Amino acid sequence: MPVDALRCRVCESEYAATATGICLRCFGPLEPVYDWDALSGRVTRASIEAGPASLWRYADLLPADPPAGLESSPGFTPLVPAPRVAEALGIGEVLLKLDIANPTHSFKDRVVAVAAAKAVEFGLGTLSCTSTGNLAGAVAARAAALGLPAVIFCPAGLEPEKIQAATVYGARIYGVRGSYDDCSRLVSELAGEVEWGFVNVNLRSYYAEGSKTLAFETAEQLGWRTPDAVICPIASGALFSKLWQGFGQLARLGLVDGPPPRLYGGQAAGCAPVAAAFAEDRRVRPVRPSSIAKSLAIGNPADGDLAVATAKASGGAIYAVPEEDVGPNMAWLAELAGVFGETAVGVTVGALRAAAAAGEVGAADRVVVLVTGTGLKTPQAVADHAAGTVTEIDADVDALLDELGVTA
């Protein structure tokens, strides 16, 4: 369905559907306006299931059409059970939504796919972004697939694995001396000077819509039923609030059974402005990030207040996870579920464990945990855990049996 207007989520002012992301009246986030009457007669479970095995199966609920030939990716990632995690925490059922299966191994491929489609529609010839790592790779890869140049701005000192995952696609990378928030200020000023598609600035209204597809897929993969709870990392707060919106939109169209899930978020303690605002029942205040979870280290989150409101509306919570627990949580998930997630996943697992310890989730619950990125991009966080686990031996079976304590 064509989208002709954008509406502010805070003051509800409306604008034409152009390349803009911020309300000029209150500086709130803008989002596309859909014709729900038309959609209710058009979108069905059957029509969705007949679509491609990607996020574009939900094209009617997105603000862009898929580029020709690129309908097959990203999205529709696996939802797999983690019974040993569930048993360890006393939860009825735990399922992992594996967005590490996306083309650049993070959920950012979803949001970039939608933003890039709008960039092409608007005739913007260069894709750009400010990134803490995963978004850089997603933008670089999508630009390469579309035949567009990519220019990316990151805080200097990011994990080298994440930088390499962007440069390999031919993107131009600038390391900005400062934090992610310094990068954001630079790029926001630059967006007024060049006609580029900045996926998380002038295309943010469309970019954020890609996050809804995690809710859409989860419900569909559960037989069009909602889970009892979803656990999610929080950086800007957009993913967290869009999940809630996605489940709500399915309910509005009568496509899903069950009540909306409770949403639980996590932030690393070294950058936890949203968790602090939730705990103290106040608005979000900017902080200076100092966290091992660099992909979540946004000190002034654009959708932080919306994330707090979402947690309250859903009956969930937002937790600050101790920095020293992030790496061990990554290793714990790997050992119990065979899934190696990045530092953001270590934070998400920390939120899951905190919710279970508080009795917020338990034996009666089906819980979905978002695995938003691969640990292969942040191996430094588990370096201590992995140290000393390789034992060198000779190619001598008798010596090996002695080492193993096995009598021949």
Element containing residue 101 per DSSP (H, E): none
Task: Report whether the peptide linkage leading into residue 74 is cis, meaning its omega lies within 30 degrees of zero.
Answer: yes
Report, in this order, helix, strand and coil percent for the chain, each rounded to 5: 45, 15, 40
Nearest-angstrom CA–CA distance, 75 and 14 = 30
Nearest-angstrom CA–CA distance, 365 and 74 = 29
pLDDT, residue 31, reads 94
Chain CA centroid to CA 303, Å = 14
DSSP summary character for residue 379: G
Nearest-angstrom CA–CA distance, 103 and 90 = 34
pLDDT tens column, 123-177: 999 999 998 889 999 999 999 999 999 999 998 887 788 788 888 999 999 999 9
Euclidean distance between the first and the last CA atom of the chain, given in angstroms as a whole number: 71
pLDDT, residue 85, reads 98
pLDDT, residue 104, reads 94
Query: pLDDT class for 383, splitting at 50, 70, 90?
Result: confident
* pLDDT at residue 1 is higher than 80: no
Nearest-angstrom CA–CA distance, 131 and 143 = 15
pTM of this structure: 0.94
Tokens representing 158?
């990011």
Element containing residue 16 per DSSP (H, E): strand 14-16
Lowest mean pLDDT of 23-32, 110-119, 230-239, 356-365, name the range.
23-32
Spatial CB neighbours of 381, under 8 Å, sequence gap ≥ 6? 292, 326, 327, 330, 342, 343, 346, 375
pLDDT tens column, 179-238: 888 888 999 899 989 999 999 899 999 999 999 999 999 999 999 999 999 999 999 999
**Parallel/antiparallel/unpaired status of strands 30-32 and 5-8:** antiparallel
Give, in degrees to the nearest 5, the angle at Cα 46 between 33 and 229: 65
pLDDT tens column, 264-318: 999 999 999 999 999 999 999 999 999 999 999 999 998 999 999 999 999 999 9
pLDDT, mean of residues 246-259: 98
Nearest-angstrom CA–CA distance, 277 and 190 = 31
Query: pLDDT class for 257, splitting at 50, 70, 90?
Result: very high
pLDDT, residue 132, reads 80
Q: At what angle do helices 343-357 and 323-337 cross, to 10 degrees?
A: 90
DSSP summary character for residue 192: T
Query: Is the distance from CB of 103 to CB of 371 less than 8 angstroms?
Result: no
Percent residues over pLDDT 70 in the chain: 98
Average pLDDT, the chain: 94
Percent residues over pLDDT 90 in the chain: 81
pLDDT tens column, 23-70: 999 988 899 999 999 999 899 999 999 999 999 999 999 999 888 877
pLDDT, mean of residues 319-328: 98
pLDDT, residue 72, reads 63
CA-CA distances (angstroms) from residue 292 to 52, 268, 322, 326, 353?
37, 8, 10, 8, 19
Nearest-angstrom CA–CA distance, 239 and 208 = 7
Nearest-angstrom CA–CA distance, 138 and 408 = 53
CB atoms within 10 A of CB 36: 12
Nearest-angstrom CA–CA distance, 76 and 107 = 11
Tokens representing 65?
């059409």
Nearest-angstrom CA–CA distance, 209 and 225 = 21
pLDDT, mean of residues 362-371: 98
Query: Is the distance from CB of 207 to CB of 199 less than 8 angstroms?
Result: yes
Q: At what angle do helices 134-146 and 160-167 cross, to 10 degrees?
A: 10
What is the arrangement of strands in the sheet containing 127-130, beginning at the earlier edge strand? 172-176, 150-155, 127-130, 197-198
> Which residues share a beta bridge with 15?
6
* pLDDT at residue 105 is higher than 90: yes
pLDDT, residue 375, reads 94
pLDDT, residue 388, reads 63
| Phi, psi (degrees; rounded to nearest 5) at 200 | -110, 25
* pLDDT at residue 324 is higher than 80: yes
Candidates 376, 76, 129, 107; CA nearest to 232 is 107
CATH 2.40.50.140 assigned to domain 79-104+208-386? The reply is no
As annotated, the residues of the chain forming the CATH 3.40.50.1100 domain(s) are 79-104+208-386
* pLDDT at residue 338 is higher than 70: yes
pLDDT, mean of residues 353-368: 98
pLDDT, residue 136, reads 92
